[in-house]
Amino acid sequence: MRKISTLALAGVLCVAGWAAAQNADQNTAGPSKNQLKLRLTEPREGAQISGSTIRVAVDYNTTIFGAGQGTKFGEKNFPMPLFDVYVDNTLKQTLKGGESNVAVIEGIPPGRHKVVVMAKNISNEIIDRAEVSVTNTEATVSSTVAPAPAPAETTTYSSDTSAPAPPPPSAPVRSYATDTTPTRQSDTLPTTGSTAPDAAVLGLALVAGGLWIARRAR
């Protein structure tokens, strides 16, 4: 029984030592990987990105970079890390912790790409890394076509510039005036009046002459 207990205890110590070795900080300056807790919030693994731009957003444990001066026992006051952003193994941009956590990479051709972020401490030692694969596609152009403008209204003018023919003359209208004024006898006799009055005077003279001659004959 004692031999079995001794072997079991030795096994537990070996496992504990291996676990401690895994969590040990191999860097000369903090923070460690377990303290930083690096992760990418953008882009997601397998994301389909339209266009030629990749936006990379980094998230990490900011509480270990407090405002303290490190004077108290156990107080964390690590220098801010740096984050190198790679696309297809090419360094594109470096972010400084506490100032910016978003990188915008432009000029990405269509196709599948690998995005890697390397977190480094003040000694330029790699603390942690995060990696995702994305696919860029060409930006789609809207198929909506604006309707063509309606043609402007045109007025057609005849090439015949001659004046229109005058209308035919209307038939003369004869006006028959009806004088309803009663005929009035002229105040003076016309100069071409009848000779009847002269004949009457001559007859009377002859009668008078005959009577005178008859009286003398008695």
pLDDT of residue 139: 83
Residue 94: predicted pLDDT: 96
Residue corresponding to tokens 């269509």: 110
The structure's pTM equals 0.51
Which tokens belong to 136? 């860029």
Would you say the C-alpha torsion 35, 38, 39, 40 has a positive or negative sign? positive
In the chain the domains, ranked by start, together with CATH numbers, are 25-137 (2.60.40.10)
Block means of pLDDT (10 residues each) for the chain, length 218 residues? Answer: 52 49 54 88 95 95 67 62 95 92 96 96 91 92 63 60 62 53 50 56 76 73
Burial of 4-38, coded b for 16+ CB within 10 Å and e otherwise, reads: eeeeeeeeeeeeeeeeeeeeeeebebbbbbebbeb
Answer yes or no: are the C-beta atoms of 75 and 110 closer than 8 Å: no
Tell me the β-bridge partners of 50. Answer: 137
**pLDDT number for residue 153:** 66
Q: Could you give the CA distance from residue 130 to residue 31 in angstroms, rounded to a whole number?
A: 16
Element housing 28 (H / E): none
